[in-house]
Each structure stands twice: as structure tokens, then as C-alpha cells.
Structure 1
Amino acid sequence: MTSVSSQPQFRYTQPPSKVLHLRNLPWECTEEELIELGKPFGKIVNTKCNVGANRNQAFVEFADLNQAIAMISHYASSLEPAQVRGKTVYLQYSNRQEIVNNKSTGDIASNVLLVTIEGVEASDVSIDVLHLVFSAFGFVHKIATFEKTAGFQALVQFSDAGTASTAKNALEGRIIPRYLLPEHFGPCTLKINFSGHTDLNVKFQSHRSRDYTNPYLPVAPSAIDGSGLAGAGLDGKKQEVESNVLLASIENMQYAVTVDVLHKVFSTFGPVQKIAIFEKNAGCQALVQYPDVQKAIISKEACHFCLSTIANF
């Protein structure tokens, strides 16, 4: 039988402790995933998630020392390593006998929320729907969506922890309004924790990530060709969920279209917050952001004619 010391999964340098140190965890590993990993061996009474430089380490505390020993012993002799989301997790006893901080990352107030949307697939709920839901509580800076073992998840960034706390308290356990989803959908429940992040790194606007503070960020082709970046397009194509951001396509251009020209047109129907212009398929398109959905709807309905003559301004 292979000795414990030769197992690369372990660092057998600490005396037994109720607290185990876990390394090589997936990004944004949750407390629930850690509890699930330790459940066969006993009751986990405390956790500390997302620690270390890469936020891929954690500590778990069992109720009894023998439970922690059982987990270490099991994986030391097993051919199957401990895994979370398919990643091998490295285990060792911690040099601490208890986790002093009784709050996991998910309990510490942050300006970024980790949202799990239960009962849906990743393509079922658009980023625009999430933006509409969370914008009711304050200005949403950024959103990034992704798929994990826990399901379809999103990181939603607000300007401060207070605004994020308000949104979390109001939406935790609630369902997304049915009128925002297709008729055949069942209830989509929101499960919300605080994230350990404070500023999301969004490199481009797409149907999976969005930075509402940077109108000049590059736009991924999939954002237009796929589910659509804006909630309502002005080019007569696929109708999307209503949003406070419009996607405008200017066809048959004879002269250059500038931000000032677009602002002159769209501000007729309400205060324009941001405008971003980019080229797509040799044409000109723009993102126009209003403070609310209603003003965007009014502008959309009125601007079909304006866009056809915009080059004459």
C-alpha cells in the first residue's frame, strides 16, 4: 500500500486538526461545495472560502477531530482524489485548531454579488434580464455570467456594498418576474451571496459579460449575431427583452456619424447617459443608454425614421 507521505495530493507536515486546508479549488468555490465535499465524513461547522493570492484555497472546520482525520485518511488511501468541479483538491491538516473568522466570504458584505439562477440553463436568462432585475436597486456597473456545477451563475457589481446588500436582501429567494421570461419557463429562483471580488475584469461587451461604465469597450461579434447586446434593436431584426440600452444600426450612410450627432437625435426623447459607436459588417452601429427602460422604448418607437435620415444632419 502506498504510504501517505508519497501521495502528491497531501502535505503531511501538520499534526491532526479539526481544520483542514484545501488547495487548488475552482475559482469562486462556494461554502456549499465545501460542505458537500466533507459531508460523507462528518459535520462541517465553519468554512473560510476564497483565500490565498489566487483565491483558490479554503479552510473547513469539522465538529470533531476524528471526522477531519477520517477525511484525510480516506483520500490518502483512495485511488480517487478529492475533487470539486472536476478539479483535484489538495488536502492537509491546518496549523490552526479552529477558524477564528466565523464568516465565510459569502457572508461578508461586498459590492459584488454572486447570483445563482436555479431552474434554468445558461441560455435561458439573458444578461439584459439580469440587468433589469438588479438595476431596480441602483446603478449596475458590470455583469459577468458563467456556468458552474452549481448551475447558471452571474457576478453583479454595484458601486458600493450598501447598494449590493439592499439588492441581496430584496431578491434572495425570490423568482425572476414571469413577464421577463418566455411563457413556457418555470420559476427561476435567485440564490444570492456576496462575492470576494470588488471589481470585475470585463474585457469586452458580449452576451455573457457587460461593463455599463465603459461605452468604448470593444463589442464581441457574438453580442450582435447571437442573443443581441441591446434589449431592443433598431434594425428591425429579432426583438429582444426590453432594456434601457438600445442597439442602433445606421444604414446607407453618406456622411460620418459622430457621437454628437447621435446625442442630438436620441436626447430628443430623454436624457442620454452614454453612447458608443462601432463598425459592424461595414456598417455603423451604436449603443445608446437611457436612465430607464420607458425612455428607451419611446426613443426606439420614434427613431426608426430618424435613423434613415440621420446622415443628413
Structure 2
Amino acid sequence: QEELTDLVKPFGSINKFIVMRSGKDALLEMGDVEEARSVIKHFSEDQALLRGKEVQVEYSSRQKLSEPENPKVEASRVLLAIIHNPLYQMNVDILHQVFSPHGNIEKIVIFHKAAAVQAFIVFDSDEAAAAAKSALQGRQIFDGCCKLDIKFSIFAFRFLGNYKEPVKMNRDYTNNSLPGDSQSKTSPQASILGAGTAFSTMKQGGFGSVPLSGVLPFGVTGSNDKCTLLVSNLHEVLVYEEKLFNLFSGYGRVLRIKMFENAKQALVQLADGVQAELALNFLKGAPLLGSAMEISFSKHNTIRHPRTRDFTMDPYNRFNSEYVKNCCPPSKILHISNVSDEVEEGDLLNFLAPHGVIQRVKLFESTNRRQALVEFDTIEQATEALASKHRSKLKATSLRIAFSRYHAIR
């Protein structure tokens, strides 16, 4: 609305503004006829543009705009939740986790309309629905996206039975014969709403546990208590403890690593279960030196094997509470920090070139620290470079390398 009104503000005052239901048309009522004529005359000679697209400005057959009367919707146990900017895929488990703390849910139906995801949330009482609406209106399910716009629905519960959506998009919690919802009944610690929720991993008491506050990445429950991962399908010659440390330390504080000779396997113990879950979530299936890593939780919570490498006091154990915000899957672009003032783009290019084809290198400064972005041709090449060169020295400083969340270098 602001962008459209800015187009015509120079020609006079705007009395009313109505966006049509289609979202593609709008009606503006100017202060008087002369102001409306000025708008039409100007844009008949100079094409109106909005976000780079042509906008048609012409007279309406209406002489005056009146505000549409919206039917008053009384409080009911059925909520309509509109999820704006849905960067993550929604399902009934996520919405149940968000809404269930405010009352008993009987049904959830998710559907897509326009550019948003919408859902009907049916509670067992009007009071529970009102409490959920009051607590969640305007909140974001995940940081920076999935903002909730919640209204009481005019649809009665009996009409919602007509929605034939897949199980992930439609669930009746009153029908015990339907697929279970065990995943949706997670503990309060696993709540995915950012504001007002803290994820504490200190309860497991392991050395190096990090209190994580805020939103855990999509797919991470925060309730896992297994600290050790079994990593399989490794190259038996080219992969060793330091490379695994370089890779896994971006997702948690690595305590110990045990390589099994001739078995293409390793055990990686992290400080707590949440960090182990982060590593598994992002690195499972990631390519490393010709093979896709297979990762699962180990039955051993602590590594006690002989000839185990201990990284407990390693100064390059970099994971902290801020890292969880930037956790991302392996990507073609690497973020490099602690770059010496003497290093040029060509130095980085030569330093990392043995690991693959480099598309672009960009040096920059942020918070008075020199950093770089390096884009490889493939994710596998970038993963190899990180595993091989993190904490390696280039012109007197040890580089710190992590996967970048950027999809392109500008």
C-alpha cells in the first residue's frame, strides 16, 4: 500500500485506498477531481513503474469509495492461521507444537492460498482458541520468517471434515485410528517459537555444553540426549581425525574422535545431545572426499576406546551459543575469518585451489575484521577444502573456515 500511495502522493491527498481481493488491483480516491486528472495525465505520458514492473493507472467507474463491511466474526474454537513468508515447509506436527501449549487441539488442516500457507486450528473450547490467538498473534515460528496472522474462523468445525489433505497437512486428533502424533507432542524444550523460549543443553552436564537460546534450526528437536555419532562410509586413507574435527566442530564442541582401522568408520563425541543432533541434521549424507557420509547416533554415549584422539582442550573448538544461529548445511560458498591484512584474493585462490575449481573470491571487512567468501564449483569441493584447511596458517594467521548461508557472492 505504501509503495502505491507513494506514486500518487506528489499530485494531492489520498482519501481512501482499497486493495481488491485478487491482490492485483487497487482503488485510490484522491482529494478532488483535479488531483485525479493530474495523476492520469502524468502517467499517460510517463509509464508508472513499481518494482520494475509497469503499473496501469486509469479512471474507475466509481465516483466514491466506501469501506467494505466485514462480517463480524465472533470468538470460536476454530482459528484461521495465515503464515506469511513461509521459508520452511509447514506440517501438522510443527503447528501442533506451536499451538498445543494453549489448549487441547482436535484438528489441524493446512492448505495453500495465494503466497501464504494457511491452516485451520480447532481447539476443544472457545477459551483455548482465544488464549492461543492472544499469545501467538504476530509471532514468528522461526526467526525472520513464518509470521503468524491469526483470526477467528467463520467456518464451523463440521465443515472441516471435507478437507482431503495428506496426513502431514490434515490430522484429526480425536480419531485414534488415524496415524499417531507422537512427534507433535514434544517437550516444551523443543518448542520452535523464538521469542520467550530458551533451549538449554546444560542439563546434560557434559564438559563443553553450551546454553543455546533462541530458535533451533528446522528439523532439530532439541530433546536428544545421545552425545556420540557413528560416522560411516569414509575414505579409509584420506579421512582422519583432524579432518573430521574441522568439519564437525562447526556444529558442536568436539570432545573425542575414534577412527576404526580398515572399517571406514569413526565415532565422534560432542559435548551434548543437541550439538550431536545439529551435526547429524546438517552433515548426514554430505559428500566428503568421494563418499557421502552416513551418520547415526551411537549406542555408546562416551568414547572409551584406546587410541582415541582427545580434542577437549583444543583451542579451535569454536562452537558457542551464537553458532547455532548460523548453522547451515554444506554449501558451495565458504566463509573465512581471521584473514591477515597481507593476504590478497590471489593468495586465497592459490591456497584453496588444490581442492577444486574456484568460481569467485571476495575479501571484505566486517566489525573491523578481515574476512572472505570463496565460492567453489561444487559442494563436495567446498567440503573438502573446509575439512582440509580450517585452522591452517596463511601468512602468519590461522584461518577459520565455515560454510556460508549465502547462495551467491555479490
Q: Give the TM-score normalised by the residue count of structure 2.
A: 0.30
Q: TM-score, normalised by structure 1?
A: 0.36
Which has the higher relative contact order, 1 or 2, with Cα contacts under 8 A spaced 6 or more apart?
Answer: 1
